[in-house]
Structure 1
Amino acid sequence: MTDVITPFRIAIPQADLDDLAQRLARTRWPQEIGDNSQWQAGMNLGYMRELVDYWRTQYDWRAQEAAMNLLPQFRTVIDGVPVHFVHIKGKRAEGAPAPIPLIINHGWPWTFWDMRKIIGPLTDPAAHGGDAADAFDVIAPSLPGFAFSSPLTTEGMFFNPTADVWVKLMDRLGYDRFATQGGDIGSFVSARLGHKYADRVIGVHLHLAGAVMPPFPAPDDYAPEEREWGAKFARFMAEGNGYMQIQRTRPQTIGFAMHDSPVGLAAWLTEKRRAWSDCGGDVESVFSKDDLITNAMLYWLTDTYVSSARHYYETKAEAMAPAHDRQPPVEAPTALLQFKGDVWMQPRKWAERYYNLKRWNIAERGGHFAPMETPDVLVDDIRAFFRTLRPDLLQNHG
């Protein structure tokens, strides 16, 4: 049957781990010219040597693999696209409403494993200091071409068609209506769901302002107290988006390096963790060495750098056409939680024009990788937003 869903466990062949160990031992280190103590030219050589030494001598993939396998995982194929996902039913307290189905979306350079800190509090709030009435059925997929949603051979996959695949996944799981949450690329997937499938989407919760089509923010959309956000975003686009330009234009070329050198891949991914998180320049104040290495391993062991990077390459103008011209573009009720430590923050005036905005919040702590950095802040905001929508779950919103 084409709609079969099968249980999945991660089991990396030992030969792949042995090959990795040999490659790490043979690393050819680049020269570092001048002072790069602030990582101003990119990944710091001294830190990368330290990380790789830990990788070779102390890191334990099998322990990480066992931890991942504690989550119930599944695979299916939808329109030729392999889909890997975690699915955990919420714990329903006696007399409480049914848990809301919630599909949570990661970004790049993330994986499904970055969502692990929010899955437990969302599915079993009572066990994590919350109200049992706030339980969700959580579906946490790997984006197409990321980690175990592979190998991806279908062209054209990015956030818009991913939203179409996710609707079919939710159909396959038996959910007629559902909610969605996301950051980074995942915010664009969630926004697209709230745009194209507003009749099915209970609500959209974002921790990055994903805009799936015009109108985009203009300079005069920024209130005086928001102007620094615009300046910060402009600096990011001028100084920090080289990765984006490469992946939008030549992912295949850089892919030869990323698929041949685990150290090169880890450097490419880890530098973004430091630059985009609220870590004050100390990446390990937010992410442990195990976190950083496991993230790289999930790309390396599944050969998915190129297929993940193509989510940027495939965002062609002709593929970005809106599904309708109604206003606001995202009609489903939307909550936007932005973090001051992020590199991407958008103005409220624009957000109110773009989304059916029902909740707006600015977090003082945390950055781009909210599910890992500040899971408590994120979970509290998700719960608060969807609590307000519960009376309307059985109705189409206006």
Structure 2
Amino acid sequence: MQIEPFQIAVPDADIDDLRRRIRATRWAPATPSPAWQQGADSAWLRELAEYWAERFDWREAERRLNLQPQFLAEVDGQRVHFVHRRGVGPACYPLVVTHGWPGSFFEFHALLDRLCDPAAFGCDPADAFDVVVPSLPGFAFSLAPVEPGTSAFQVADLWASLMRGLGYEHFGAQGGDLGAGVSIALAARHRERVDGIHLNFLPSSYEPANGAAQTPLTPAEETYLREKNEWAALEGGYAHMHTTKPQTLAASLNDSPVGLAAWIGEKFRAWSDCDENVEQVFSKDELLTNISLYWHTQSIGSAIQMYWENRLQPMRFAEGQRVVPPVGFAHFPKEINHPPRTWLERTFDVVQWTDMPSGGHFAAMEKPDLLAAEIRKMFRKLRA
């Protein structure tokens, strides 16, 4: 596997073009509805756009991103961008951490500090990790697949090859959102190498091996499935568009920075533990660093394409099939779904389950200390 160091360097012309486009925005007329009821609030969006065009310092964001050791590799014919951060400790354990949408590798910057150098945060250096954070195919600096069919299962195969190319025969995996699906697929397809996985989200397409036809649903499971369907009907329009007409949407989002900011920013507010004030948890600079990664790489279309692929290869398990590597699960209260432990135990060997005190969908950004502690706890027993 060929690996080369990588540094982000967006051309000045691209930054100038972005600012020009924002300043030329043709704003949609406001509707007579309460703020945020029908999507991104226009007043907030105008303020964010003005900041993006006039005050946001991409060069400073770029400098901070480049503090992480980044690389490009050809993995099974696919160009993969990844961060590879070595730990500080006596025996660092290898861990591959996978992001989702609308996040990116940037989600994990605070988490990486805590996983790679726990002693710097008053924790045991024996819990240090070597962490690999790849960008999903078609996200940021990982090229989009040239052929259809790259779902979470194929990404898991890529990650297994990447970890072997980096010298890690055995490793753990962690993820939320799309990254949870990739981590599950790693455990299901590469159980001889994956010691265990830790999740902070359960993919909505997951259907357990021992379904209700064999084992009646518990009351908690019935409530979960009903609430999941209700959420999909009221809040899941974005996902339906991603899974059915991604390229129609991409034509708009790839051309309009304000449209892109609305599509992504609204989710950071809706899915986080922010008490309806998104900037209580994420600064404008953090939001715009993540959004700018999509903009400057023109990757929004190829990123949401993965929803299409996952719809064609959902996270369903055959009768009698179980995932062998142990699973840990951190249940954050403001996550977008709330599966009961028994729903996972129909397929997984759940060895660690924690109901977290606070936090939402973007746990690595919202609550890096809490998430890092859970990950350390999970893999402490698997390091041997």
TM-score bracket, shorter-length normalisation: over 0.9
Q: Pick one of 118, 122, 126 that aligns with 1:125.
A: 118
Paired position in structure 2 for 1:57: 54
Distance 1:348 1:213, change over 3 A: closer
Equivalent in the alignment of 2:160: 167
C-alpha distance in 1 between matches for 2:33 and 2:151: 38
Q: Report the residue type matching 2:192 in the other structure.
A: D
Q: Which of 84, 102, 119 is the matching residue for 1:87?
A: 84
User: Which of 10, 13, 17 is residue 12 of structure 1 equivalent to?
Assistant: 10
Give the whole-Å Cα distance in 1 for the aligned partners of 2:27 and 2:288: 18
Work out the CA distance in 2 between the residues paired with 1:322 and 1:276: 25
Q: In the alignment, does 2:271 pair up with 1:273?
A: no
Query: 2:16 matched to 1:27?
Result: no
Q: Structure 1: any 5+ residue segments left out of the alignment?
A: 394-398
Preserved CA contact (<8 Å) 1:191 1:212:
no
Q: Structure 1 pair 246/212, CA: closer, same or farther in 2 (3 Å)?
A: closer
Q: Determine the structure 2 residue equivalent to 1:285.
A: 280
Cross-structure match for 2:64: 67
Give the aligned partner of residue 327 of structure 1.
321
1:369 paired with 2:366, answer no
Cα pair distance change 1:222/1:367, threshold 3 Å: farther
Amino acid at match of 2:310: T
How big is the shift at 1:90? 1.2
* Corresponding residue to 1:207 among 184, 195, 200: 200
C-alpha distance in structure 1 between counterparts of 2:134 and 2:107, whole Å: 11
Map of 2:42 onto structure 1: 45
RMSD, aligned CA: 2.0
In structure 2, distance between residues paired with 1:181 and 1:91:
19
Q: Any residues of structure 2 matched to 1:175-324 within 5 Å, and which?
A: 175-210=168-203, 214-215=207-208, 221-223=217-219, 230=225, 232-317=227-312, 319-320=313-314
- Structure 1 counterpart of 2:350: 357
**Contact in 2 for aligned 1:195/1:331 (Cα 8 Å):** yes
Relative to 1, partners in 2 of residues 1:326 and 1:114: Cα closer, same or farther, differing over 3 Å?
Answer: same
* Residues 309-338 of structure 1: CA deviation (Å, up to 9, x unaligned): 011111244x4587986532x211110111
Other-structure match for 1:346: 339
Contact between 2:334 and 2:359, CA under 8 Å: does it hold in 1? yes
Structure 2 CA distance for aligned equivalents of residues 382 and 124 of structure 1: 13
Cα distance in 1 between the residues matched to 2:325 and 2:263: 36
For these two proteins, the number of residue pairs brought into alignment is 381
Distance change (3 Å), C-alpha of 1:257 and 1:171: same
Name the structure 2 match of 1:396: none
TM-score (norm 1): 0.91
Aligned residue identity for 2:178 = I
Q: 1:105 to 1:30 in 2, by over 3 A?
A: same
C-alpha deviation, 1:79, in angstroms? 2.6
CA contact (8 A) 2:203 2:315 kept: no
Alignment match, 1:158: 151
Rate the CA distance shift 1:221–1:322 in 2: closer, same or farther, 3 A. Answer: closer
- TM-score, normalising length: structure 2: 0.94
Q: Per-residue CA shift, 1:110-151, capped at 9, x if unaligned?
A: 000001111011011101211001011000111110001124
Q: Secondary structure at the match of 2:2?
A: coil
Q: Which amino acid aligns with 2:175?
A: G
- Residue of structure 2 in register with 1:110 after alignment: 103
Letter in 2 for 1:233: K
The alpha carbon displacement at 1:56 in A equals 1.6
How far is the alpha carbon of 1:181 from its aligned partner?
0.2
CA contact (8 A) 1:221 1:347 kept: no
SS in structure 1 at match of 2:382: helix
Distance 1:227 1:379, change over 3 A: farther
Deviation at 1:256, TM superposition (A): 0.8
Tell me how far apart the structure 1 counterparts of residues 43 and 226 of structure 2 sit (CA, whole Å): 31
Distance, in Å, in 2 between the alignment partners of 1:101 and 1:80 is 23
Paired residue type of 1:264: G
Which AA in structure 1 matches 2:308?
Y
Structure 2 residues without counterparts, runs of 5 or longer:
none
1:321 and 1:312, CA in 2 relative to 1: closer, same or farther beyond 3 A? Answer: closer
Q: Percent identity?
A: 43
| Letter aligned with residue 334 of structure 2 | G
C-alpha contact 1:248 1:313 (8 A) present in aligned 2: yes
